Structure formats: C-alpha cells, structure tokens
Structure 1
C-alpha cells in the first residue's frame, strides 16, 4: 500500500481539527488520506469486578447479563465509530480530498497504529482522546504511548483548523533535528511557508554554525528563513518566540542530544504538548 496520511479519530472535541489538518496535509503532500477509528472492546472499568460479591445462585445469571451488556456496548461503539468515520470522510471531501478511505479496527489505538505503521507517511492525532480528562492541559496517555512506539512523523493538532502560515523548528543540532530541517526544506507540506529556526542555549561558535547551516539549508530550498539563539528555560523560550513571531506550527524532535532531549522522554516536551494551542509536528 502507498504511504498515506493517516488520521486517528474518536468522539473527542479534537476530531474536527484532526479531519481538517489531515485533509490539508493530504492535499499538500498529494498523498492518500485514511481515517482510522479503533473500538476498544476491553475498556478499563470497574464493572469487570461486579460479579465477585454476588451469591452463588445468581452469579451465573449475572455473568450472562454482563456478557450480553458487553456485546451490546461493543455493537453500539462500532456503529458510533462507523458514523464518525462517515462524517470524517464527508468533511474531508468538502475540504477537497477526492477519495478519503476509512478503516475501523478492534483493539487498542497503540497496537493498531503499530500494525499500520508501514502504511503511514504522516499520522494526525488530536491532543487527547474522548476518554481523557477534559482539563485543557491534560495530555491523553494514548498520545504519549503512540509517540513512544511509532517511528513516523506525528502531527498533534488542536480542535480548530488554522492554515499554517509560519513554522518554527526547535533545533539543537542533533541528527533528528538536522533531518527535521532537511525535511522542512524539501517537504511540499511547507512549500511557500516562512520558516524560523530556534536554538535554546548559549550563543557559542558551535551553535552559531549549526544555525547558519539550518538557515542556509532552508534558503537554498527557496524558503524565507530566519532564526535565533536564545538562552533560557526551553519551554518558556520556545513559547515566547512562538508568540513574538505569530508561529502557528511547531516542529520538534522527540529526542535530541541537548536539554531539548527531555522533550517527550521527560517533562519538557510533554509540557510543550500540554500547553500547545497550535499543531506540533513530532519527528523521530
């Protein structure tokens, strides 16, 4: 199968944003679009233990009832998912995608995406899923697990679409972020979009030459590019630069060799993702 833009949808408030960003990416990359919905037939609920305190006489009957309820719940979840996929498909067609595909699977989101990984060129996901806590800074545990297990670019999106007009890459000279700069330079996704490169650290000769390389790579590919080296706490510095320059898409490596290395395996990236009100493209 051709590598495609894959979008994971559920009943959360982020699904519309996922649809629109996925359609934008599919059109820009000229790649097929597939929407995926996963029905988890084994949600973690307290109900599984209900039969433990029932008298012997009624226990068998109760287990039958619970089994029947589970079956009904699975059917309802499947039908809801089918309707969501149809709505997502219709929305993507309105956005201009010719033939979006849909796939419904049983299991867990992480396992499903791991199985489909070879087909994925870009994965689009919402900031959190429908079962996640609704606090604005809560990051769905599924998202963290997906980022750890997948080796594909992942675009985490907010609930409303805004066409990216200025992109920033958090750059630390690592292999991952150097590949990120090269990807930015050549990807049709960012064609004609001004690019900013930010190094968080001391203004040393090494950092200066890293920045010069990144800017030259972007400019040679035809991008308008500017950058800076700023000292400070990583997340605060990234946020301040984003606000100053009206950045509306951030590119980050999930792993690096500096303080930015803590992105996602430590507190910094998780914190950036939690507070993000714009899309974040995570690179592996």
Structure 2
C-alpha cells in the first residue's frame, strides 16, 4: 500500500491553504496526493426534535417529511463535497501535482482518518473547520481530536500558503524529538531549508550536548543549521524565537512528559497552535 499525502478539506476558508500546502508536500516528497472530504453523520449541534409537539394525526405525515428533508440534505452535502474535491484536485494540478485523487466518506473525520491511517504518510489539515467562527482564536475541535488519535505526522496550516524558507524544531532531547531531527535531516520536504533547533531550559552540559548532536546531524545532511538554549516559559519562549527569526514552519513533538512534549496535553499547546501564524508540523 502506497503511503500518501492526505489533505482533509471542508467548506472553511482554510481549505485553500490545505490544498496549497498539500501540493507543496506532495511535490517535495514525490508522494501521491489524496484529498479527503467527510460528510459528518454526527453533527455536534443537532436541530431540535419538534415531532412530539404536534397532534397525533399530523405526526406520521411530519415524520415522513422530516425524513425526506434529511435525505435531501444528505444528497446536497454529498454533492457539495464532490464539487469541493473536484476544485481541490484542479487547484493541485495547477500547482504541479500529477493526478491528485479525491475520496469522499460518510462518518466522522476522526474515525475516517483512523481507518485510513496506514495509507497516510503526512496528513494536512486546516487550523479550524467550517463550523468554527471565521475570526475565532480557538482551534477546531476536530483538529484536537485528530492529533490525539492519529499516530502520523500532521501538518496544521493557516488559510494562506507561504513556501517555507526557515524551519524551527522545538527540541528537548527526547526520543520523539531526536527522531524529528533525523527526519528533518533526511526528508526531501526540507531540502535546502535552513533549520533552527531550540531547547527551552537551562544552559546545562546535557542540554548543550543534545543541541550539539542535533546540529551535527543536520549539518552532516547538508542543512544550514543553528541552535539556541533559552530559559523561560515554553510557549512564550518558542513563540518569541519564531517571531524574532522569521520562522516559516514550526516542528514539534506531540506528546510525552517533558515540558515541550507535554504541550498537547494542556492549555500550553492549544495556545501555541492557536497563536501560530504559520504551519506547525506535529510529530508522533
């Protein structure tokens, strides 16, 4: 089974960014690109059931009409999804992707991605979905659930594409982030892109040794690499470095027990992802 770049699209304004970043990743990785649209059969805000508020004589007729209405809505949603996938494929072809595919599923996004996990090399998702307020500072609830359940690299993207020119890895010497260094070093996704490695913590011998290893690994692979050890609160320190150095893409581990890897368990990660202006690649 060929692993592919999979891009989850919906009716939100973030879908354009998803399309463009997915096309960039597909070309760089030389991997097939598949767009995925899921018709959620379990809407989070169901309409009120008014069928019990009417007389017995009209109840059967109304229930029949409601059933027909739901069927019509399902057909409209399916057609909307089909058109979204068609537009996404056309946009990807314009960006230089050969034969992008489209898949439409019924169910929930999380369940669908879990079923397709073995086919995914990289998942590209928007920061928020179509049910979120356009100007909301919150992350989409689907995104948080996907990150928690899917053991694949996830690229969370903003609604506007910008080709990454500087990458930063939030590093703590853990197994996950050491794998991240090795992935960055050899992945064609980051070929020719300078890499910054940042440790949030004290200037200790162990931290310095970990940072030196990371920089050596990246430089031996041909990357221009620089690093820093900075004390402070994790989210604020990382965000400050991002802004100071004009970083285009942040790479971080998703789970664990250290300060950086703990981010996705509590409010710190939510703040990090929410305030990120550029894409964030989450590693598992």
Gaps in structure 2 of 5+ consecutive residues: none
SS of the equivalent of 1:259 reads: coil
Separation in 2, partners of 1:55, 1:261 = 58
- Residue deviations 1:185-207 (CA, integer Å, cap 9, x gap): 00000000000000011111111
TM score, norm. by length of structure 1 = 0.98
The equivalent residue for 1:245 is 245
Q: CA deviation at 1:70?
A: 0.7
The equivalent residue for 1:206 is 206
Q: CA deviation at 1:48?
A: 4.7
Separation in 2, partners of 1:196, 1:46 = 46
TM score, norm. by length of structure 2 = 0.98
The equivalent residue for 1:159 is 159
Separation in 2, partners of 1:45, 1:224 = 49
2:180 corresponds to 1:177:
no
Q: CA deviation at 1:39?
A: 0.7
Within-5 A mapping of 1:103-122: 103-122=103-122
Separation in 2, partners of 1:142, 1:151 = 15
Separation in 1, partners of 2:110, 2:248 = 27
- Residue deviations 1:127-182 (CA, integer Å, cap 9, x gap): 01001233341100000000011000000000011000000000011111110011
SS of the equivalent of 1:203 reads: coil
Alignment RMSD, CA only?
A: 1.0
Following TM superposition, where does structure 1 have runs of at least 4 consecutive aligned residues deviating by more than 3 angstroms? none
Separation in 1, partners of 2:229, 2:40 = 45
Q: CA deviation at 1:49?
A: 2.0
Q: CA deviation at 1:237?
A: 0.5
**Paired residues, number:** 284
Gaps in structure 1 of 5+ consecutive residues: none
Contact map agreement 1:127 1:158 (CA 8 A) in 2: yes
The equivalent residue for 1:196 is 196
Contact map agreement 1:260 1:268 (CA 8 A) in 2: no
